[in-house]
């Protein structure tokens, strides 16, 4: 029987569904105690049920700085310091630049850039002290290219990749790695919402909209959430990979 006192601790944000659920399940199967956070208690319960190991369900708003501090305090009180942070929580918005409101712009920055920054800032001191830690941010191929109608989302993802690269350079000699995984269009609820938006704005059928997104990947299909989780686990297990934005996009964007 495993000694729970020596089992490493992972935190997955946006763990209620999609990529976050797959990553949490994989980390749990790999022997981590996994703290799960998202807004929905029901979604988190579903993720916890898929994890073979011990989980800690901590619902809340990751964009609230007070919640981030409390989240880490609760994990540390229960299990000790976080060894692996997977900053997965995120969202998108579609609008032309001139139709993007201040509220939409700020929401993208708050969730996709500032929340990972706060989680990273809180996680690093203990990782550096222990001379071991892994941070993986789920970014997007939008961190590397620009496409029309997603300026706020793209700006936030470009920003978070810059954060990853700078943080990785700071801690490279201290046993801590910081990476981003940059998926294309993944078969998740977030993409389902994108499909609905295309249908509403263009009048295309749902199948036409989904096919249009699938065709953006040269492999001709959506990426699976398990394929993204594979890349996350590579970053967790390989200490020589750091400061990278690893594309999981079917060959759509040159690295």
Q: Hey, what are 158's tokens?
A: 């470009």
For 157-168, letters b (16+ CB in 10 Å) and e give: bbbbbebbbebb
Catalytic residue among 32, 72, 149, 153: 153
Helix axes 102-109, 151-171, angle to 10 degrees: 30
Question: In Å, what is the CA distance from 199 to each residue of 107, 151, 193, 196, 223?
Answer: 23, 20, 10, 5, 21
Residues 89, 138: Cα–Cα separation, whole Å: 8
Catalytic residue flag (residue 153): yes
Q: What is the dihedral of CA 177, 146, 186, 167, to 10 degrees?
A: 10
Report, as residue numbers or ranges, the catalytic residues: 153
């Amino acid at each position: 029987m495993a000694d729970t006192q020596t089992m490493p601790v992972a935190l997955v944000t946006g763990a209620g569904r999609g990529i976050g659920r797959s990553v949490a399940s994989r980390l749990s199967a790999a022997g981590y105690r996994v703290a799960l956070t998202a807004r929905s208690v029901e979604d988190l319960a579903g993720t916890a049920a898929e994890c073979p190991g011990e989980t800690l369900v901590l619902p809340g708003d990751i964009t609230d700085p007070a919640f981030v501090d409390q989240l880490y305090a609760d994990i540390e009180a229960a299990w000790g310091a976080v060894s692996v942070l997977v900053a997965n929580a995120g969202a998108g918005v579609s609008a032309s630049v001139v139709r993007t409101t201040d509220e939409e712009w700020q929401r993208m920055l708050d969730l996709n850039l500032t929340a990972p920054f706060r989680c990273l800032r809180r996680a690093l001191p203990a990782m550096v002290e222990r001379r071991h830690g892994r941070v993986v941010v789920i970014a997007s191929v939008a961190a590397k290219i620009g496409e029309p109608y997603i300026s706020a989302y793209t700006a936030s993802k470009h920003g978070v990749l810059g954060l990853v690269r700078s943080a990785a350079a700071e801690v490279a000699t201290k046993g801590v790695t910081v990476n981003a995984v940059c998926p294309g269009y993944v078969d998740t609820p977030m993409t389902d919402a994108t499909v609905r938006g295309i249908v509403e704005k263009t009048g295309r059928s749902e199948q036409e909209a989904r096919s249009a997104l699938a065709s953006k990947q040269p492999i001709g299909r959506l990426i699976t959430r398990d394929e993204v989780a594979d890349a996350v686990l590579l970053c967790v297990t390989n200490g020589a990979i750091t400061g990278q934005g690893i594309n999981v996009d079917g060959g759509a964007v040159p690295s």
